[in-house]
Structure 1
Amino acid sequence: MRDRLIASDHLQGVMFQAMSFSDYGVSPGNLKNFWRDKTFHERFAEADDEDFPDLNSPVFIDSGGFKLMNSNTFGEAPEEGGTKNEWGLYTNPKSILGLQIDFGADIIATLDYPIPPKLREEEKFERMERSIDSAVECLRLLDNPVDLITHFEENDIPLHTLNDWIDSDDKPGVYVALHGHDYETVNWYVGTFIERLAEADVETQPDGFAIGSLVPLRSSVDVLVDIVQGAKDAIPEDRADEMGLHVFGIGGKQVSLLALLGVDSFDCSSHMQSAKFRKYLHPETWENIHLDDLEVEGTDYPCNLEHCLLCQGDSEYDTSYEEMQSVLNRDFSYDERERRKDNDEPIKSDYYALLARHNFEVYNDELQRVRRHINEGNLLEYVVNFAREHEQIKTGLEQAQIRDKSLRNDIEQLGAYDLLPGTELRSDQKKLSDWDGGVDESDETRSISLEYGPHSFDVSTRSYTPPADRDVCLLIPCSQQKPYSESRTHSVLADKLGKHKSRIHKVTVSGMYGPVPEEFEEEKPVLEYEYVLAGEDERQIELVTDRVLRYLEKHGDNYDEIVGYVTSKTYRQVIEDALEEYGRGQVLPRDPKALQLTEFFRNENIEELTDFLAATAE
């Protein structure tokens, strides 16, 4: 596949994983003195072989975080208290960045610490913090490469490419690798990194973010959309155009929808994985058809893609369906394989490569089509038409509109009312926790329904009295994850409140229902609704504000203190207006640096709340 694709004029780029050498039985000496001796570009340029033409496309090298997580060989460096190993390679930014530079990366992804399934909550966020620190350290090293040289010298790594790189000051583009299982977590991750980078006063700035752990979600596009929106929304508006967004392992028919939501680049190996199982990707239906079930006569494949060597018959081999099937279904002895290779006759690998190339061309054709629609300014129209043909994309487009009200307005302007969020019960939605490589927070999937409206739950219509033993009413915004108490925002705040929790009666402000006292969190309408309050939803803002006010007028005297803790703009407006009208209570933090989700987690803001609670307890 490599030999049949590298030479292609329309190759966009190459993705490589820095730790891939560990799959090939490479010795420590061979890694140091051969693999790292020349960059990929240099090796291709020097090779006197038609199979290895010049590599004129950019090479994007991932850090290999998943490989390192599952290896006991590459631990902490000696200067960090670890043990020296014969590879001179360790799980830290210096080692991995040095390896990426030696391989000749044009773009790198920072070293990350992936989150395995069922990891304890405190360990999960510890690893996320380490990934953020690693990204900041990587950028610092690009500012001060002398620390890289010291690391190489202390670990007996020859200064092959590194010296030339330092002399040329040719820094690679940097994408910050990130992981997250929902909107809130990814949003926190991006916002926290941006904040941490500003505090570090680093000159080299990242070119964007690269979202990992997405491969299992290719068929769960609604969760994919949620994660992408979480990352995109956390990037400051004044930097949105300069910060790229890459998705690891995603391509194909999701490209148009994700590009519409702000994704800039993709990498994918599905064309290879499908070919391995003899699957042919139909360019019109996007169905992966096993070769045994493919209806073809001769070379009359259902594909007219210009660069497809299989379907256009541009290969040096007989590409008829019958011949390909004949070769793939035969068991060649070693001697026969060698004889066929000597006589330039195809062996199985040749046809697997042609099949993979076909699948790749289907993906690449869609990518070029999306590029064209972006340039012509009509990508939304294309996605709308595509969604009508593909239920998965329709589901994702509906999900995107729940958070992005401007997208919903644009779709209404097109008259595509059939693609607005509807009333169909979607009980098959999955979370990242349901897939390998994700974070398991629950053994069950949460059903959601878009049939709920503001009158599906209204606490003012219930016969209800707040608990008598709680003297503080804490108003906080709702979360997408249900029940609220299991969400990132609510659980982190609960942990930080510590001894004060016994005084607090939590009342969540739902964008759909208004006040939801904690006793009602697991009622079906509260568990299954899917709605985010947006600034342009003026009538809904008025309804929610009125309901919060009615709750306070009815139950406010049950509390000694009423406090709202909120950093998102629209929900803060609701709580502030309700408290002002009621005439009692206050909103914290008093002066957040920005009105966005990341401020919710800032320690100094949470401390402002705990200090308030401590003062009112005296």
Structure 2
Amino acid sequence: MVTDSMVSFDTVAEAGEARRGQLQINDRILETPHLFPVINFYGGGNEGALFGGGVHRTIKEFLAHDNEVTGGEDYSDLFRGVMTSISSLADYGIREKKLDWYLNKEIREWECFSDYDGMIFADSGGYKILKQGGLEGEDFEKDIDQDKALDMQLDLGPDIVVNLDHPIHPDDEFEERIEKMEQTAANAAQFAERRDEVNGACYLTVHGYYEAMLERSFDLIKDELAEPIPEIFDGIALGSLVPRKDNVEVLIEAVSDCKRVMQQRGYGDLPLHVLGISGNTMPLLVAVGADSFDSASYLHQAINGKYCVNLFETVPVDEADFDACDCRICNDDFHRARMRNEMDDLYQKDILGSVAAHNLAIQQRELRQFRQLIAEGDQEQVADYLEEAVKDQKGFRKFVYQLINERMNPYFEETDTTYA
């Protein structure tokens, strides 16, 4: 039984509702706001091939600092905190014997990952498990409940775990939403009973797109717990937003309302993680109180041949101007040659692996710049940053100007219609 884990979250700077924080879990420290890139550590293969997985493998080679793939450079700064999910364990149709083999060692106990010292956030896989009805492989079908999910999460040796949740969907009827919230609350109570087994942070998942839904989600959980939420959980994870990921207005309202409910209930000091969301909405969500995110968008964009020009724009890889980008990947002759496919006998996974690393570097760079602005504590600078970021993005300007005017620095006159 684990009883001596050390978890703390400290706000070190604020600019309006945006904050810069420091999350410490035992001897690991993470600066926030932070993006946890999603990593599939076990891609159906064996350790000698870094467990396989195509482009997924190349990303693990970046994480594990494989000189042949990284060109001798250290890119560990891109992976200071990563997310993985128990649902990804069976992504490649493995047999049950291999699943048991994967879970026989913690991630850092494998020689290939032994040097990795970043944080590992182990997700319960609620969205995929609920959709599939369990965990399925070539010769097995496993029903997953809260206890089984936590067993598998702990087998990975994580720094952060979250309860098994039942995400709601925009098409759900009211009764369906309530039932799923009740199931999530019951799981949270079971999760809390095993809190002492976790050598790290425990995050609580809540669901909702607006204040009334979030109030109901928190109420149902509170009624199931024997102790107040802050005495059991170290952070809040806001879920169910992936189906609404393209609706900027809904995302801003959900995060803003969740933060407001947390503050009203005395949970405002807990870090707020937004599940499954990244990219162009991150700065806006940080501005209303989000502390961290997770996503595999950087990887999926690369797999689809997309190169990020910035948070808002992508172009086909063969049309990208690598010389115009100042990120570490594009500034390296080795990776430019790879992305241009100028090397002999290149695998596609290596070409697109460098593209994925670039895409991740772009997102991480934006958050790093935002952290610095927040550290200066100047709300007007944050507003200027957001305004500059979306000046060419018609679909975003309305929401950014509204956010600035109502919540940050009301310098737009009511008659100003430039954002319409």
**Partner secondary structure for residue 70 of structure 1:** helix
Tell me the distance in 2 between the aligned counterparts of 1:201 and 1:250. Answer: 28
1:61 to 122, 125, 143: 122
Could you tell me how far 1:378 is from its partner in structure 2? 2.4
Tell me the distance in 2 between the aligned counterparts of 1:351 and 1:186. Answer: 43
Could you tell me how far 1:396 is from its partner in structure 2? 2.9
2:280 to 241, 253, 264: 253
Q: CA 1:201–1:355 in structure 2 vs 1: closer, same or farther (change >3 Å)?
A: closer
Could you tell me how far 1:385 is from its partner in structure 2? 3.4
AA matched with 1:16: T
Q: CA 1:380–1:184 in structure 2 vs 1: closer, same or farther (change >3 Å)?
A: farther
- Over residues 290-338 of structure 1, what are the superposed CA-to-partner deviations in whole Å (9 max), with x where a residue is unaligned? 13433x4xxx521112x21x442244x83473x35xx8xxxxxxxxxxx
Q: CA 1:393–1:73 in structure 2 vs 1: closer, same or farther (change >3 Å)?
A: closer
Q: Which residue of 1 aligns with 2:174?
A: 121
Q: Which residue of 2 aligns with 1:205?
A: 232
Q: Which residue of 1 aligns with 2:164?
A: 111
Tell me the distance in 1 between the aligned counterparts of 2:185 and 2:402. Answer: 28
Which structure shows the bigger proportion of residues in strand conformation? Answer: 2
Q: CA 1:314–1:245 in structure 2 vs 1: closer, same or farther (change >3 Å)?
A: same
Tell me the distance in 2 between the aligned counterparts of 1:6 and 1:421. Answer: 55
Identity of aligned residues (%): 25
Q: Which residue of 2 aligns with 1:304?
A: 326
User: Map of 1:387-406 to 2, 5 A cutoff?
Assistant: 387-390=387-390, 391-400=394-403
Could you tell me how far 1:280 is from its partner in structure 2? 1.3
TM-score normalised to structure 2 length: 0.73
AA matched with 2:326: N
Q: Is the 8 A contact 1:388 1:394 kept in 2?
A: no
- Over residues 522-548 of structure 1, what are the superposed CA-to-partner deviations in whole Å (9 max), with x where a residue is unaligned? xxxxxxxxxxxxxxxxxxxxxxxxxxx
Could you tell me how far 1:91 is from its partner in structure 2? 2.7
Q: CA 1:109–1:188 in structure 2 vs 1: closer, same or farther (change >3 Å)?
A: same
Q: Which residue of 2 aligns with 1:360?
A: 360
Could you tell me how far 1:424 is from its partner in structure 2? 8.1
Tell me the distance in 2 between the aligned counterparts of 1:230 and 1:65. Answer: 23
Q: Is the 8 A contact 1:139 1:204 kept in 2?
A: no
Could you tell me how far 1:57 is from its partner in structure 2? 0.5
Q: CA 1:192–1:378 in structure 2 vs 1: closer, same or farther (change >3 Å)?
A: farther
Tell me the distance in 1 between the aligned counterparts of 2:399 and 2:203. Answer: 25
- Over residues 357-409 of structure 1, what are the superposed CA-to-partner deviations in whole Å (9 max), with x where a residue is unaligned? 1111110100111111122212552233322441444333355479xx6x2xx
How many residues are treated as equivalent by the alignment? 347
Q: Which residue of 2 aligns with 1:223?
A: 250
TM-score normalised to structure 1 length: 0.51
Instruction: Note if 1:5 corresponds to 2:63.
Output: yes
2:102 to 31, 35, 47: 35
Tell me the distance in 1 between the aligned counterparts of 2:144 and 2:375. Answer: 42
Tell me the distance in 1 between the aligned counterparts of 2:199 and 2:141. Answer: 23
Q: Which residue of 2 aligns with 1:411?
A: 409
Q: CA 1:132–1:258 in structure 2 vs 1: closer, same or farther (change >3 Å)?
A: same
Q: Which residue of 1 aligns with 2:200?
A: 172
Tell me the distance in 2 between the aligned counterparts of 1:231 and 1:355. Answer: 34
AA matched with 1:2: K
Q: Which residue of 1 aligns with 2:303?
A: 276
Tell me the distance in 2 between the aligned counterparts of 1:279 and 1:242. Answer: 38
Tell me the distance in 2 between the aligned counterparts of 1:320 and 1:253. Answer: 23
Q: Which residue of 2 aligns with 1:287?
A: 313
- Over residues 200-241 of structure 1, what are the superposed CA-to-partner deviations in whole Å (9 max), with x where a residue is unaligned? 578951112112232344432111111011211111457445
Residue segments in structure 1 that go unaligned for 5+ positions in a row: 76-85, 144-165, 328-339, 427-618
**Partner secondary structure for residue 111 of structure 1:** coil
Q: CA 1:380–1:59 in structure 2 vs 1: closer, same or farther (change >3 Å)?
A: farther
**Partner secondary structure for residue 295 of structure 2:** coil
AA matched with 2:129: L
Tell me the distance in 2 between the aligned counterparts of 1:202 and 1:369. Answer: 33
**Partner secondary structure for residue 301 of structure 1:** helix
Q: CA 1:364–1:187 in structure 2 vs 1: closer, same or farther (change >3 Å)?
A: same
**Partner secondary structure for residue 3 of structure 1:** helix
Q: Which has the higher contact order (CA 8 A, sep 6+)?
A: 2
Q: Is the 8 A contact 2:62 2:76 kept in 1?
A: no
Q: What is the RMSD computed on CA atoms of the aligned residues? A: 3.1
Residue segments in structure 2 that go unaligned for 5+ positions in a row: 1-58, 66-74
Tell me the distance in 2 between the aligned counterparts of 1:65 and 1:94. Answer: 13
Could you tell me how far 1:128 is from its partner in structure 2? 0.9
Tell me the distance in 1 between the aligned counterparts of 2:359 and 2:109. Answer: 29
Q: Is the 8 A contact 1:275 1:352 kept in 2?
A: yes
Q: Which residue of 2 aligns with 1:483?
A: none
Could you tell me how far 1:118 is from its partner in structure 2? 3.1
Q: Which residue of 2 aligns with 1:557?
A: none
**Partner secondary structure for residue 289 of structure 1:** strand
2:192 to 130, 134, 139: 139
Q: Is the 8 A contact 2:308 2:314 kept in 1?
A: yes
Tell me the distance in 1 between the aligned counterparts of 2:360 and 2:229. Answer: 39
Q: Is the 8 A contact 2:259 2:268 kept in 1?
A: no
Instruction: Note if 1:232 corresponds to 2:259.
Output: yes
Tell me the distance in 2 between the aligned counterparts of 1:263 and 1:203. Answer: 18
Could you tell me how far 1:351 is from its partner in structure 2? 0.5
